[in-house]
Amino acid sequence: MAAVTYPSAEAIAGLAREAQQQQLQSLDSLDTKAATLLGLAGVVLGLIFTSPLATKHWSASLTVGAGTIAAAIVVLGVAILPRNYKFNPNITTLATPNYMQQNADQTYYITTASILEALLFNADRIKLKARLLRIGTALAVIGLVVVTIGLIRAT
């Protein structure tokens, strides 16, 4: 019986690897954005509580704004929490005698299937991280606007 060949397996495996690299860069980018916004929200919250003007003229709008910024910090903190991602193919699985005896096309085929499984698995986690980032950003902006309005009204 002739072995099944996959003539385009190498090309598809290369494309799958590139997609996985882009996905990992996307994760890093989302983490960087969330961490930056988390730091900014923390600084703004710290400035609110240490500002003589804010503490002297504390109002309901400052309370609501500070609470909204604090909620943004929590959401952004959840966004940057580490999660389990798949980084397939697992080289320890492929470096077994079973796979070492396969022809290259079959190995590329198996590798590509493994990478595609990881891409689908990680895509849901990227969507969640992006959604949390959007919510945290919206909360921070709303909180900042409410605090600004409260400070303007206080002066």
**What residue segments make up the domains of the chain, in order of their start?**
30-50+57-154
Neighbour-count burial of 38, counting CB atoms closer than 10 A to its CB (0-12 exposed, 13-18 middle, 19+ buried): buried
pLDDT at 139 over 50: yes
* Helices 9-50, 104-154: crossing angle, 10 deg rounding: 20
- Give the pLDDT of residue 2: 55
Region 127-153 average pLDDT: 95
Quick one: DSSP state of residue 80? Answer: T
Four-point Cα dihedral 139, 137, 77, 115, nearest 10? 140
How far, in Å, CA of 141 to CA of 94, rounded?
48
Summary mean pLDDT of the chain: 86
Percent of the chain clearing pLDDT 90 (strictly above): 49
pLDDT at 107 over 80: no
Q: Which band of pLDDT confidence, cut at 50, 70 and 90, is reported for residue 1?
A: very low
Q: Which band of pLDDT confidence, cut at 50, 70 and 90, is reported for residue 114?
A: confident
Region 143-149 average pLDDT: 95
Percent of the chain clearing pLDDT 70 (strictly above): 88
CB 122 within 8 A of CB 27: yes
Residue indicated by tokens 């470096």: 95
pLDDT in tens, 47-106: 999 999 888 989 999 999 999 999 999 999 999 988 787 777 766 666 666 666 777 777
Among candidate residues 138, 151, 140, the one with its CA nearest the CA of residue 61: 151
Among candidate residues 86, 82, 79, 85, the one with its CA nearest the CA of residue 33: 79
As a whole number of Å, the end-to-end CA separation of the chain is 87
Instruction: Tell me the two tokens of residue 54.
Output: 């804010």
Residue 4 C-alpha from the chain's centroid: 39
